[in-house]
Amino acid sequence: MRIVAIASLAIVATIAPWFVGVSHAIPTPGANVSTAHNRPDIPGITIEQEISAQRDETYTALARYKSQPGFLKCTTKQSRFERERDVLSGIHARLSVAKDTLSNTSGMIVGLLEVFAPSNGYYCLLLERLDGITLGEYSEELTAEQCDAILPGIFKQLIDALKLMHSLGYVHGDIKPQNVIVIEDEPSGTPRAVLIDFDGAQYVGNQLGLSVSGTYGYRPPEDYLGELSDQYKRDSWMLGATLYATLVNMPPYGFICSPTQEMYKQMSKESHAAEMVAIANSGANNIYPIGSSKNTHLLALMHTLMTCKIKHRPTVSELDPLLLHNLVNNG
């Protein structure tokens, strides 16, 4: 049993640094400056601003290649590089030959601009540079009423992007607020959602499989059973968990509230795994209640996507059309 209900976003914000990820958005000046000693050396690349480096495993920067602006993403993990390269190449190859029928979703998946040969132990991609902020940052700036009005359109876009991916046999594998960039397109100012970070994506076709990536707090119950499972339905859970996080500013699972210290603490891996196995077996969610949202259609979508028993959980393509209609028309 959870200890207490959500108290305030100010308390929840104390855990934010624990699950911030690297994004493709233009960073604030001076943020996350790299201290890496070993950097990729790619002919034709001009580094405009280094963003981050993690234990000599990743390197990211705003860069130009032959005058083309982009987001340079490098990793020492060849398998992660190959997954992102292959999935983005496959998706955009399909988009390039079906522009008329898929034009509505073409801007919802980050573009792949260049693939480079290995350099100094790094495998690098040049990705589309996105002038926006993460979904987590975006939702923090909204009032509860604005969330109820704006988030339905954003999540309908994400559903459409995942429908496209799934129709081609791909899954994202690591959906969370930090892996969605929100851009306010001019002149309307309508927010556009773009999926990023595909190094946990994979081609699954019609086969059950095991996940290759995921983020603590967002992974579905079946991940903790060690069994082959429907990876499309796994994306559904993570999308629902992402919706929960945008409303509450924390993942649905993996944290407990300390009433004495008035803060949320990350559970031990063993306790979290045991909790998720229990949820998988019982089929009952145990998330903190959401008191801020009054949008019943948005909450219905979240609960549907976060159906605990995977056999009862829909893929995004199996979502009730009436639910989606009400989501975008009656928010």
Query: Of the candidates 191, 222, 228, 225, which has an alpha carbon nearest to the alpha carbon of residue 206?
Result: 228
The structural domain count of the chain equals 2
Q: How confident is the model at residue 190 (pLDDT cuts 50, 70, 90)?
A: confident
CATH code of residue 58: 3.30.200.20
Domain containing 190: what range? 133-329
Q: Which two tokens stand for residue 24?
A: 């493709």
User: Does 12 fall in a domain?
Assistant: no
pLDDT at 1: 35
The percentage of the chain sitting over the pLDDT mark of 90, rounded to a whole number, equals: 74
The answer, yes or no, to whether residue 21 has pLDDT greater than 60, is no
- The answer on 156 and 109 residing in a single domain is no
Q: Model confidence over 86-97: pLDDT tens digits? A: 999 999 998 877
The residues, ordered by sequence, that sit 6+ positions from 142 with a Cβ below 8 Å of its Cβ are 150
pLDDT at 6: 35
The percentage of the chain sitting over the pLDDT mark of 70, rounded to a whole number, equals: 83
CB contact at 8 A, 156 and 324:
yes
Query: Where do we find the tokens 């196995």?
Result: 277
- The answer on 165 and 100 residing in a single domain is no
What is this structure's pTM? 0.88
The answer, yes or no, to whether residue 10 has pLDDT greater than 80, is no
Q: In whole angstroms, how large is the CA radius of gyration of the chain? A: 20
- The answer on 307 and 210 residing in a single domain is yes
- The answer on 239 and 111 residing in a single domain is no
- The answer on 193 and 283 residing in a single domain is yes
User: Average pLDDT for residues 271-277, to the nearest whole number?
Assistant: 96
The answer, yes or no, to whether residue 4 has pLDDT greater than 80, is no
Per the prediction, the chain carries an average pLDDT of 87
User: Does 5 fall in a domain?
Assistant: no
User: Does 232 fall in a domain?
Assistant: yes
Q: Which two tokens stand for residue 23?
A: 């994004």
